[in-house]
Amino acid sequence: DQQVKQNSPSLSVQEGRISILNCDYTNSMFDYFLWYKKYPAEGPTFLISISSIKDKNEDGRFTVFLNKSAKHLSLHIVPSQPGDSAVYFCAASGNTGNQFYFGTGTSLTVIP
């Protein structure tokens, strides 16, 4: 079963604009959410995370928003840069800490 969903397989954004990547989850017991970035032929790299007790976490150009009632999180990148072009995975962790679920990824292309 797909507990974490990224419904947009791809996204194109002009350089300098905002990129918004979305993620939905089904399990209300998830208490930790993460975003990873993946370049071709490399493994995913941790980008930013958020605990379920928060609704926003910011790190430089990257901000993650969590809407628990909607079971939705989003990653905002502003301003977008060509080097941000990659596949972005969201992931969620249950309160046992041992279960970890990834979405299928969204391929972001930032156009110079």
Tell me the window of 17-25, 59-67, 69-77, 89-97 that interacts with other proteins (CB under 8 A): 89-97
Q: Considering the complex, what minimum distance in angstroms separates the CB of residue 38 from other proteins?
A: 8
Residue 53 binding other proteins, by CB under 8 A: no
Q: Kindly state whether residue 56 participates in binding other proteins, applying the rule CB under 8 A.
A: no
Could you write out the DSSP letters of every residue in the chain? Answer: --SEE---SEEEEETTS-EEEEEEE--TT--EEEEEEE-TTS--EEEEEEETT-SEEEETTEEEEEETTTTEEEEEESS--GGG-EEEEEEEE-TTSS-EEE---EEEEEE-
The verdict on 49 binding other proteins (CB under 8 A) reads yes
Question: Total number of residues binding other proteins (CB under 8 A)?
Answer: 21
**Residue 46 Cβ, how far from other proteins at the closest point, in Å?**
5
CB-based burial label for 9 (10 Å; 0-12, 13-18, 19+): exposed
Nearer to other proteins, 42 or 69 (CB): 42
- Is residue 34 near other proteins by the rule CB under 8 A? yes
105 binds other proteins (CB under 8 A): yes
